[in-house]
């Protein structure tokens, strides 16, 4: 019998958070638009990273770390039936909700509860090596993330791919300060009344700062009104403060290299297509510090000794496979509508592009799709490529690879944000904090944290 060591105190607190508040806590019978999750497909990753597709009918092993309640459902929809999916999470409640959702699909998923470092260290995972590992929004909540990355690399197949999302630490100072302020006020994620008090307090403080008001508005009402999402954002018990350079150093130490980055909100248009040529840590840091790049880092990693990375994109015609009916029946992703270059495309064009993309990841050639891309406006095609809906080998087939690799603009200017509050609001903020915390020292500490947020951008 293997003995599993007790989790450290920080990991235990993280477990308590997601046990109490599964994320993102959608209604159990809700039907998420799983087609929007195409970036998490292992078939997509193989085409993106290696320039060729794998055989969808061959048994492959997919590991989802910190899978939560929604990702297992989305991943299982995208992965071929032959893929063995293992989902690991600290929270039993999250796994129970995920198990309920995937049971409705009638397709097997293996669920394991535990600390991923321990499971990878003691061999508690039944499928090794893994051809695809995903840790989306997880590593920045693992105190020993460098160890986790090394273990992930050790359990990755030679030509496997890792997909991660990690926080952009340079862009989250204001969130961290709010988190610390709530902690000083003794507000905890376990108590619904504490969350309501924190939400009310944040609303009162935001009155003093147009900049903070705008930031909260950009987050959307769901992040503020949903208790699980509010706690995950502003009351999380442990979040890494690692910089972009520190993350990239950790990748290198683990024997991994980043090969692609998804620029979700088009903040990096002055760089070559980041899905086809990953930016350096310095390029990202420079843009994060002046707020040109505030999104999280969505990265694909491979082992440094990966034999296929960097090859010329081509099609492996021996792996052509039928597209599952469930994919054929999906509507185009909603992301078509959020960019000015693609929002005006007709529904028929969007559907043709979507079906052409699906055929690509199943190793099929769609002549109509390629002709459509050849005739398309280069700005539109460039945006589609940066969204992930045109893959490298398709761009080569259409003769537009070099054009779509280029930057879409010469430069990106830092965003113009409203100013913060004047520094004389400190007394007002301290009064709000004193009303929430009877300990004067802790109330003063909370007020100092809030002042850093509301006065951001205002010279002293």
User: Domains of the chain, with CATH numbers?
Assistant: 9-170+240-303 (3.40.50.150), 173-238+419-454 (no CATH)
pTM score over 0.85: yes
Distances (CA, A) of 388 to 3, 85, 354, 397: 43, 23, 11, 16
Whole-number pLDDT of residue 2: 38
Closest CA to 222 of 89, 74, 23, 420: 23
Distance between CA atoms of residues 140 and 240, nearest Å:
5
Beta strands 130-136 and 110-113 are unpaired
Distance CA 431, CA 414 (A): 34
SS3 content of the chain, % helix, strand, coil (to 5): 50, 10, 40
The pLDDT, as a whole number, for residue 123 is: 73
- pLDDT value of residue 3: 37
Tens place of pLDDT for every residue, the chain, 460 residues? 233 456 889 999 999 999 999 999 999 988 889 999 999 999 999 999 998 888 999 999 999 999 999 999 999 999 999 999 999 999 999 999 999 999 988 889 999 999 999 999 987 787 789 999 999 999 999 999 999 999 999 999 999 999 999 999 999 999 999 999 999 999 999 999 999 999 999 999 999 998 899 999 999 888 899 999 999 999 999 999 999 999 999 999 999 999 999 999 999 999 999 999 999 999 999 999 999 999 999 999 999 987 544 445 555 556 788 999 999 999 999 999 999 999 999 999 999 999 999 999 999 999 999 999 999 999 999 999 999 999 999 999 999 999 999 999 999 999 887 877 776 788 899 999 999 999 999 999 999 999 999 887 655 5
Whether 299 contacts 258, CB under 8 Å: yes
- How far apart (Å, rounded) are the C-alpha atoms in residues 307 and 301? 13
pLDDT at 311: 45
pLDDT at residue 307, as a whole number: 57
Chain centroid, CA 361 distance in Å: 21
């Amino acid at each position: 019998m293997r003995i599993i060591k007790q989790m450290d105190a920080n990991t235990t607190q993280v477990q308590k958070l997601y046990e109490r508040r599964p994320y993102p806590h959608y209604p159990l019978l809700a039907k998420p638009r799983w087609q929007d999750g195409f970036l998490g497909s292992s078939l997509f990753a193989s085409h993106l990273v290696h320039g060729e597709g794998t055989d969808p009918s061959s048994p492959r092993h997919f590991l989802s770390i910190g899978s939560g309640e929604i990702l297992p459902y989305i991943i299982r929809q995208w992965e071929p039936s032959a893929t063995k999916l293992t989902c690991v999470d600290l929270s039993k409640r999250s796994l129970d909700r995920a198990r309920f959702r995937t049971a409705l699909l009638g397709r097997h998923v293996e669920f394991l509860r535990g600390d991923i470092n321990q499971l990878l260290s003691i061999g508690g995972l039944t499928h090794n090596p893994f051809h695809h590992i995903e840790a989306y929004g997880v590593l920045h909540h693992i105190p020993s993330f460098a160890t986790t990355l090394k273990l992930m690399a050790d359990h990755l197949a030679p030509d496997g791919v890792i997909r991660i999302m990690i926080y952009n630490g340079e862009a989250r100072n204001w969130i961290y300060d709010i988190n610390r302020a709530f902690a000083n006020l003794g507000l905890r994620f376990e108590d619904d009344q504490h969350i309501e008090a924190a939400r009310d307090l944040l609303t009162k403080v935001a009155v003093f700062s147009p900049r903070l008001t705008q930031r909260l508005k950009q987050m959307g009402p769901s992040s503020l009104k949903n208790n699980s999402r509010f706690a995950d954002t502003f009351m999380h018990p442990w979040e890494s403060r690692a910089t972009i350079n520190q993350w990239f150093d950790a990748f290198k130490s683990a024997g991994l290299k980043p090969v692609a980055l998804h620029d979700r909100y088009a903040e990096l248009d002055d760089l070559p297509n980041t899905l086809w040529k990953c930016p350096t840590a310095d390029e990202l840091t420079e843009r994060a510090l002046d707020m040109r790049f505030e999104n999280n880092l969505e990265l694909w990693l491979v082992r440094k000794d990966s034999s296929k990375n960097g090859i010329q994109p081509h099609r492996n015609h021996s792996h052509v496979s039928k597209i599952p009916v469930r994919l054929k029946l999906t509507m185009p992703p909603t992301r078509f509508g959020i960019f000015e270059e693609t929002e005006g495309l007709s529904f028929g064009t969007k559907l043709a592009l979507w079906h052409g993309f699906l055929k690509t990841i199943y190793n099929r050639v769609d002549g109509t799709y390629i002709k459509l891309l050849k005739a398309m406006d280069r700005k539109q095609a460039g945006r589609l490529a940066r969204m992930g809906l045109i893959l490298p080998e398709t761009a080569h087939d259409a003769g537009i690879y070099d054009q779509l690799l280029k930057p879409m603009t010469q430069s990106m200017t830092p965003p113009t944000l409203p100013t913060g509050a004047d520094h004389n609001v400190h007394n007002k903020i301290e009064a709000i904090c004193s009303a929430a915390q009877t300990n004067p020292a802790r109330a003063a500490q909370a007020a100092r944290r809030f002042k850093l947020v509301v006065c951001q951008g205002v010279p002293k």
